[in-house]
Amino acid sequence: MLKRLINAKELIAIRADKNVVVVDLSSRKGYLIGHVPGARYVSYADIVRSDGLVEGLLPTASSFSVTLSRLGIRPESAIIAYDDVGGTNAARFLWTLESANHLSVALLDGGIAAWKAQEFPLEEVEGSWLPSGYAVRFNESRSANSDYILQRLDDEGVVLLDVRSRAEYEGKDIRSLYGGHIPHAVHFEWTAGLNDDNNLCMRKKHDLLEELSQLGVTPDKEVIVYCQSHRRSAYAYYMLRVLGFAQVKGYPGAWSDWGNRQELPKAMV
């Protein structure tokens, strides 16, 4: 089983292992300019689904099966993902894998920027792989929907963590029919987990745990993370898992679901 978070030097040491599959979720242009040698490209659009105004839903099991099979990923594959946007795309891919019961996954800390900073080799050509015939079955243990959240709004053992910008949380930046946030949700912008001075690598565990604890976000509670579509919050989900939180769920659809439904309660600041 992989460590959840690995650095570029650790990836260099294990990437020749035949069971290790490195997946790049950068922009297509960025991938072709230069990627980790052997990395297999997948577009963010291929790992999410929309339904009307609701974005960021889980893909269908059949479409995700096609994606994993095309990449040559097998049930026994150890998957390391990265991107060029601070980890959100890669973390969303890893959350989706965990939702499909594929648990041998890791995030490359700092993504391609950290790899380049070490001056490790880059590749510009795209390889090809034999389809694996991977058959996906999703479970619900990593997800929360609006009904699940509504039933737990007053549960002291559950924390709602809104990782959008402060303006979105306060209802000043409205990206759905309604602004605001889910009642009782606490705010921790996802970028607060990144170290701007170190290629957007994850900040030190001790500091993150201390800041989250001040918000009431502690490992003994169930934490439900959300943003606008569960892209930014996928990074927060993965960060919490790295920090040792066992009970974490993402809200696919997130505010694009909640904020477009009149009947659901909203809070403003």
d(CA 228, CA 23) in angstroms, rounded, equals 24
pLDDT tens series, the chain, 269 aa: 789 999 999 999 999 999 999 999 999 999 999 999 999 999 999 999 999 999 999 999 999 999 999 999 999 999 999 999 999 999 999 999 999 999 999 999 999 999 999 999 999 999 999 999 999 999 999 999 999 999 999 999 999 999 999 999 999 999 999 999 999 999 999 999 999 999 999 999 999 999 999 999 999 999 999 999 999 999 999 999 999 999 999 999 999 999 999 999 999 87
Scored b (16 or more CB within 10 A) or e, 208-218 reads: bbeebeeeebe
* Claim: this prediction has a pTM higher than 0.95: yes
Question: Tell me: the pLDDT tens digits for 146-171?
Answer: 999 999 999 999 999 999 999 999 99
Alpha-carbon gap, residue 2 to 78, rounded angstroms: 7
Distance, in Å, from the CA atom of 113 to the CA atom of 136, rounded to the nearest integer, reads 31
Active site residue 227: yes
Find the catalytic residue in 25, 227, 234, 248: 227
Domains of the chain: 5-117 (3.40.250.10), 146-258 (3.40.250.10)
Between CA 136 and CA 233 the distance in angstroms is 23
Pairing of strands 54-57, 49-51: antiparallel
Helix or strand or coil: residue 78?
strand
The pLDDT assigned to 193 comes to: 98
At residue 1, the pLDDT reads 72
Please, what's the b/e burial string for 111-132 (b: 16 or more CB within 10 A of its CB; e: otherwise)?
bbbbbbeeeeeeeeeeeeeeeb
Which pLDDT score, from 0 to 100, does residue 269 have? Answer: 78
